Amino acid sequence: MDSLTLFCTASLVFGGLFWFVCILGPAEQKGKRAVDLCGGSISAEKVQDNYQEYWSFFRQPKEIETAEKVPAFVDTFYNLVTDIYEWGWGQSFHFSPSIPGKSHRDATRIHEEMAVDLLNVKPGAKILDAGCGVGGPMRAIASHSGANVVGITINQYQVNRAKTHNKKAGLDKLCEVVFGNFLQMPFKDNSFDGVYSIEATCHAPKLEEVYAEIYRVLKPGGMYVSYEWVTTELYKAEDPEHVEVIQGIERGDALPGLRSYNEIASTAKKVGFEVVKEIDLAIPPAKPWWSRLKMGRIAYWRNHILVMVLARLGIAPKGVVDVHEMLFKTADYLTRGGETGIFTPMHMIVCRKPESGGS
């Protein structure tokens, strides 16, 4: 390789670094900065080991089926992916239908605001975000509704990130973040005016357990809205391609196992909820939610090169390259799930706790 080629290569690398580090802006505005990528609460030298540990769950399927081991499994996943999600996706870790003429950010905000509108709560009400991540939906919902939002997440790193974002957004008076497992929440019975969960309960090994816990903390007469990840009526368990896609989604998103669409309402009713509405928000005339993933392919390769450079320079921990690659492969499975119609991340259910409902 001659000196001119070396110079051009080096210029491209450092030009790319300058663009991502200096131009893309601070994390609270546009996501995590590339130079700050880490393994969450995992020390840098253990990221690679924890990535291997994460995959060990899938090499031993019975481990995932053991409910008491799932929280650690999910916690490891979010330590590994939270920074990359923020960097490449933003602070709202979920999908939304594309809206013609609207940006992805606006479509996301509208999708979040709809959830709290369905709760029918007044300003000052106390509502729960069950599985809040770094709090993107929480902040949008608090700003839109004037409600006091309490978020719970099983990942301490996400708690810290959410609190930082809440303060920088000037919403720390309306938004509170709690570390905990939504299967065993540290809240009293009948303590919330409304509850929502956005693409979060899919991490629960048994949906009945998280629904029962949400029912317990919700006040009688209160509403619960959830956007669920499910297989649709088009999914055929005897079709090898369908199975490959669904298993790819499960492996890349820390899911103990995707549920079928027809299990959601029956589970809600089993724990005592009245089902008010149930609809797949991804079906036409809704525009494809997966279009954002397809549009991001060029960005992925650009980002992946940067991640490899940062890892080689010792700025990003070893293992981040593997995690980034895993997420890209998962994006392909999600896209295939959307295009074939066998999977949806926005099967919405709206429930009410009866006025006579106890804990």
Does 14 have pLDDT greater than 80?
A: no
Name the pTM for this structure: 0.89
What is the domain-level CATH number for residue 296? 3.40.50.150
Region 89-100: mean pLDDT is 92
Partnered with residue 260 across adjacent β-strands are 231
What's the rounded mean pLDDT across residues 90-109? Answer: 91
Question: Residues 117-128: what's their mean pLDDT?
Answer: 97
Specify if 227 maps to a domain.
yes
Query: How many of the other CB atoms lie within 10 Å of CB of 137?
Result: 31
Structural domain count of the chain: 1
Q: Within a domain: residue 3?
A: no
- pLDDT tens string 305-336: 888 888 888 888 888 999 999 999 999 999 99
Amino acid present at 174: L
Using a pLDDT cut of 70, give the percent of the chain over it.
87
Evaluate if residue 270 carries a pLDDT over 90: yes
In a domain, 127, yes or no: yes
Q: What is the pLDDT of residue 67?
A: 62
Residue 24 lies in a domain: no
Amino acid identity of residue 85, one-letter, is Y
* Residues 194-211: tens digit of each pLDDT: 999 999 999 999 999 999
Tell me, yes or no, whether 83 lies in a domain. yes
Identify the residue with better confidence: 289 or 313: 289
Query: Is position 16 within any domain?
Result: no
72 within domain boundaries: yes
Environment class of 12 (CB within 10 Å of its CB; exposed 0-12, middle 13-18, buried 19+): exposed
Q: Which domain holds residue 219?
A: 49-359
Q: Of 15 and 129, which is predicted with more confidence?
A: 129
pLDDT of residue 232: 98
Domain assignment of residue 6, yes or no: no
Of the listed ranges 64-73, 113-122, 194-203, the one predicted with least confidence: 64-73
Q: What pLDDT band is residue 227 in, cutting at 50, 70 and 90?
A: very high
Q: What is the pLDDT of residue 31?
A: 59
Q: Please tell me the distance from the alpha carbon of residue 193 to that of residue 145, in angstroms, as a whole number.
A: 13
Report the pLDDT value the prediction gives residue 5, as an integer from 0 to 100.
54
| Alpha-helical segments (H) within 22-69 | 27-30, 47-59, 61-65
Task: Fill in the amino acid letter for 36.
Answer: D
Distance CA 261, CA 251 (A): 19
Cis omega (within 30 of 0) for bond into 100: no
